Structure 1
Amino acid sequence: MIRPFRFLNFDGESKEEMNTKKRKNATPPSKHLITWSLLWGGLLSIGFYGAVQNGVISNPLVLQYCTAHPIEYVIVIMFFVGLAFLGVKYFELLCQRAMLGKGEILPARERERVPVGFCTSYQELLEEHLRNNKGKTTYHTDRLHAALVFLRAGGDPEMLDMELRYMSDDDMNAADGEYGFVRTILWAVPMLGFLGTVVGITQALGNLDLNAINESSKALSAGLSVAFDTTALAIGLDLVLYFFQFLTYRKEMQMLRDVDRMLEQELRGRFLPDEDRHAGNTGEIVAVRKMLSRVVDSLEGLTRSQTEIWNRALGTANDRFATLAAESALMVKSALASAMNETAVKHTEGFAALEKRLHEEMRTDTLRFTDGLRANVEALVSLQNAITSDTEAAKSATDAASRLTVLEERLNANLAALAQVGDFEQTVHSLSAAIHLLNSKYNLTIAESVNLRTPKAGNAKRENDGETGEKGYAA
């Protein structure tokens, strides 16, 4: 934030002296914070290891992780120093919170603003408040004192809000910087753990004897134990310390925000703007005001003339734009009309060609269908003729079967007659003729069934065979 310009020269003090005083009073006194943390951290370390040596603390884990190596002693001592720092810091914040809870130092703000001259009485009230609290300063008292010094030194009350924000940023930066010591400890503790790891592994490898593995196993395990124990101890204590540092830092930031709100309630809108502080410069101020008034008037005239010029230019541009828009619309309309006409002609030609191609394809398909239908009719006629021939052949076969039946009846009659006559030789001849006749009839039937399409030849053969059979039978 940019700090506002101020005149710090009252009560015989120079500007450098006022700045030095303000910097000294900008933050609560913490000169001895590190000293107190070292003192209390040392006392805690002595008490802890005294309890371990006297047997008050006999937990095996505590003895293993805190007393096995000198690096573990250093880690524990640094942890107690950091913890003491945070404890002292937290106690200081509790004291400031208690003083802040007593309420506002300045009297209740009236409805009307007061002149800057009231800062003297307000400063006396602040000094009385400090005497009642044995000279203990807080963020609130230091910042209130700096604000009153700013106003008494000629600062503008209208710039007081900016000055308060500047002081708030200063306090937050200073408070954050005070945690540099504990942040260093938070960084150093894990580094010591890693150092213990390196030392332990080095010790284990140095005591390793490949020729006597059994004898050197104890030394190897002792070195590895140092390596892992120091790392585990450092990480665990660092986590605990980091947690307490987070709680303390959040507590301090919350208190700084409360101080900001209280100062805003006490000082914002309390003082009148002091316009007549520099009475000796009134003539110069009037001259400057007149000059500025003339400059403003000339700027207003230039602005009006420039506005008129711009209005005329914009009007001409609007007219030109309207003309161009109309011409563009006509051009677009004519272009669209010609494009649509060309598209319609192309579509018409395409439809005509498509219709012609469809007619040709339909004619070709019709001719193909007619030829196929004619071929099918001819095939049906041929099939009908073949069926007729087969029917006639079947009829001839039926007639032959009936004649065969008649011949069988005649044969049976002849056999009966032969039986009555009793002539054996005649009987044998008759049987031979009958067998011959039956064989001829059987062969004729097979030939007719095989070749049904030659009925005339079959009929002639059957007639010849019949005559032959009858002749044989007669013989």
Structure 2
Amino acid sequence: MSQPAHKQNALWSLISGVGWPLMFGLGMSAVFYALLLKGPLHHPALVRYFAGHPINMIETTLFCVGIAGLVLKALDVLRQQSSLGGVTLGEQAGPQPVSVVGELLDKLAALPKKVQESYLGRRLCQGLEIVERNGSADRLEEELKYLSDMDSNRQQESFSLIRIVIWAIPMLGFLGTVTGITDALSHLGGSLGNHADGGNGMEAAMQGLLSGLYVKFDSTAIALCFSIFLVFIQWGIDYFEIELLAQVDSRASQELVGRFEMVGASSDPQLQAIHRMTQLVVAGTEQLVLRQAELWQQSITAAHNSWQQVQQQTGAQLQAALTASLGEVLQQHAVNMAHIEQSSTEQVQRRWEQWQGTLSENAKLLYAQQQEMSRQGELMTQAIRASGEVVQLERALNSNLGALAGAKNFEETVMSLAAAIHLLNSRLGRSDAAHLDLNSQSRSRAA
């Protein structure tokens, strides 16, 4: 630790040992008298014992200061006890060189501030500083014993304010009693001078003295009660803090003793000098190794940066070459695609013209077929009409045949009818089968 840190710790110890108890004690006494004089604690007996005389009020204020100091001390002991488990230097893997003290100090410096300021944290830090300053751990146990005695002295000095309060309160009580007796005796002398002419005056003065003395002894009684209470509380806290210091001594020995390499007896200065020289050589070698490692690291970093630059340049060149090659390939591909598209368009155009010609011919054929079908429809219509006329003629012939059946010139009539039928068949363009059918019908009817 540096010198300013020691000054800060001393200032903090002064504030925590005297300042805070005074502040909290005065605040507690102010609150108490506010409740006593104007609050729910206002009672004649309480007012008599705690506010019957200014000395009683001073005693009560000092008692509040002592209680505040003991409470703060108890809280500090509890904090110190809880911080024991959070301070450690790690497991001991055999004797270590003294050169690792800096790493251990850095490890302690990384702990929280309250843990560093605890008994164990301060003890370990001071022990490591001693080892680092001496360059060896030969006298570490003696130094730890000295540090333990120093902590014990600090522990006893931390109760200085409490001891002063415990001593001052009875003194104030006796002072209040003495001043009360003095006041009573002075009043007694005055009363005797006023009543010197009779025994009744002496009796009245003694009664006044006795009635006032019991009130004057209240300050002594209250002071003794306060002192006894503070003594018992101080004893309890002192006992627990002594046990805490014993645990700190044990933990400090476990953490530091046997952790570092021992050179030999402290009475052998030559061996110690050789050991220090060896440590200096080792430290110088370590520095050279670290320097060489840094140079290697710088060389590797420079080579890496050069490799990155070469890689970037190569990548840029490769990208440019690929871009140019791909541009030419894509341009040639576009030209080929244009030729293919043109030839495909021409083929599609020729096929479309062929299909258009074919569709035109088919349309013409369909039109011709439509004309032919129209003509066939007209012929069918004419045939249907002719069929109707044939039916009428057939009916007429049948009636004529029926009429001519009994005539003499039947053969001539039949021949004329056959001629008429032949003429009708020629007009209708009917087949010979129908003609024969009609003749056969006519013959059968004629028969």
Residue among 232, 256, 259 paired with 2:248: 259
* Alignment partner of 1:236 is 2:225: yes
On the 8 A contact 1:27/1:142 being kept in 2, the answer is no
Provide the residue aligned with 2:99 in structure 1.
Answer: 117
Cα deviation for residue 200 of structure 1 reads: 1.1
Which secondary structure does the structure 2 equivalent of 1:30 belong to?
Answer: helix
State the distance in 1 between where 2:205 and 2:13 align: 54
Aligned residues: 261
Which secondary structure does the structure 2 equivalent of 1:35 belong to?
Answer: helix
The code of the aligned residue for 2:73 comes to K
Provide the residue aligned with 1:89 in structure 2.
Answer: 73
* Alignment partner of 1:129 is 2:127: no
State the distance in 1 between where 2:279 and 2:116 align: 42
Provide the residue aligned with 2:122 in structure 1.
Answer: 142
On the 8 A contact 1:194/1:231 being kept in 2, the answer is yes
Listed one character per residue, the Cα deviations across residues 221-262 of structure 1 (whole Å, up to 9, x for unaligned) are 453033211111111111001111111111211111111011
Residue among 196, 204, 207 paired with 2:187: 207
* Residue pairs, 1:43-82, within 5 angstroms: 43-82=27-66
State the distance in 1 between where 2:114 and 2:141 align: 30
State the distance in 2 between where 1:263 and 1:224 align: 58
State the distance in 1 between where 2:183 and 2:225 align: 23
> Cα 1:260–1:90, aligned 2, differ >3 Å: closer, same or farther?
same
State the distance in 1 between where 2:51 and 2:278 align: 78
Provide the residue aligned with 1:107 in structure 2.
Answer: 90
Which secondary structure does the structure 2 equivalent of 1:36 belong to?
Answer: helix
Structure of higher CA gyration radius: 2
Structure 1 unpaired stretches of 5+: 1-16, 283-475
Residue among 169, 173, 191 paired with 2:149: 169
On the 8 A contact 1:37/1:85 being kept in 2, the answer is yes
The code of the aligned residue for 1:108 comes to E
Which secondary structure does the structure 2 equivalent of 1:157 belong to?
Answer: coil
Aligned-CA RMSD value:
2.8
Provide the residue aligned with 2:13 in structure 1.
Answer: 30
Provide the residue aligned with 2:216 in structure 1.
Answer: 227
> Cα 1:144–1:37, aligned 2, differ >3 Å: closer, same or farther?
same
Identity score, percent: 32
On the 8 A contact 1:28/1:142 being kept in 2, the answer is no
Structure 2 unpaired stretches of 5+: 196-200, 264-271, 281-447
Listed one character per residue, the Cα deviations across residues 299-327 of structure 1 (whole Å, up to 9, x for unaligned) are xxxxxxxxxxxxxxxxxxxxxxxxxxxxx
On the 8 A contact 2:115/2:121 being kept in 1, the answer is no
Provide the residue aligned with 1:343 in structure 2.
Answer: none
Give TM-score scaled by structure 1 length: 0.51
State the distance in 2 between where 1:177 and 1:186 align: 14
Provide the residue aligned with 1:386 in structure 2.
Answer: none
Cα deviation for residue 30 of structure 1 reads: 1.8
> Cα 1:26–1:43, aligned 2, differ >3 Å: closer, same or farther?
closer
* Alignment partner of 1:181 is 2:161: yes
Cα deviation for residue 183 of structure 1 reads: 1.0
State the distance in 1 between where 2:97 and 2:111 align: 22
The code of the aligned residue for 1:195 comes to L
On the 8 A contact 1:157/1:273 being kept in 2, the answer is yes
On the 8 A contact 1:26/1:139 being kept in 2, the answer is no
> Cα 1:126–1:41, aligned 2, differ >3 Å: closer, same or farther?
same
State the distance in 1 between where 2:207 and 2:241 align: 51
On the 8 A contact 1:42/1:80 being kept in 2, the answer is yes
Cα deviation for residue 87 of structure 1 reads: 1.0
The code of the aligned residue for 1:236 comes to C
Listed one character per residue, the Cα deviations across residues 356-400 of structure 1 (whole Å, up to 9, x for unaligned) are xxxxxxxxxxxxxxxxxxxxxxxxxxxxxxxxxxxxxxxxxxxxx
State the distance in 1 between where 2:208 and 2:109 align: 68
* Residue pairs, 1:296-375, within 5 angstroms: none
* Alignment partner of 1:245 is 2:234: yes
Provide the residue aligned with 2:132 in structure 1.
Answer: 152
On the 8 A contact 1:114/1:271 being kept in 2, the answer is yes
The code of the aligned residue for 1:31 comes to L
State the distance in 1 between where 2:108 and 2:136 align: 21
> Cα 1:21–1:259, aligned 2, differ >3 Å: closer, same or farther?
farther
* Residue pairs, 1:4-23, within 5 angstroms: none
State the distance in 1 between where 2:9 and 2:143 align: 12
The code of the aligned residue for 1:81 comes to V
Provide the residue aligned with 1:439 in structure 2.
Answer: none
Cα deviation for residue 60 of structure 1 reads: 4.0
State the distance in 2 between where 1:246 and 1:108 align: 36
State the distance in 1 between where 2:39 and 2:278 align: 82
Cα deviation for residue 83 of structure 1 reads: 1.1
Listed one character per residue, the Cα deviations across residues 191-242 of structure 1 (whole Å, up to 9, x for unaligned) are 1111111111111112222323566467424530332111111111110011
Cα deviation for residue 62 of structure 1 reads: 2.0
Q: Which moved more, 1:259-268 or 1:154-163?
A: 154-163
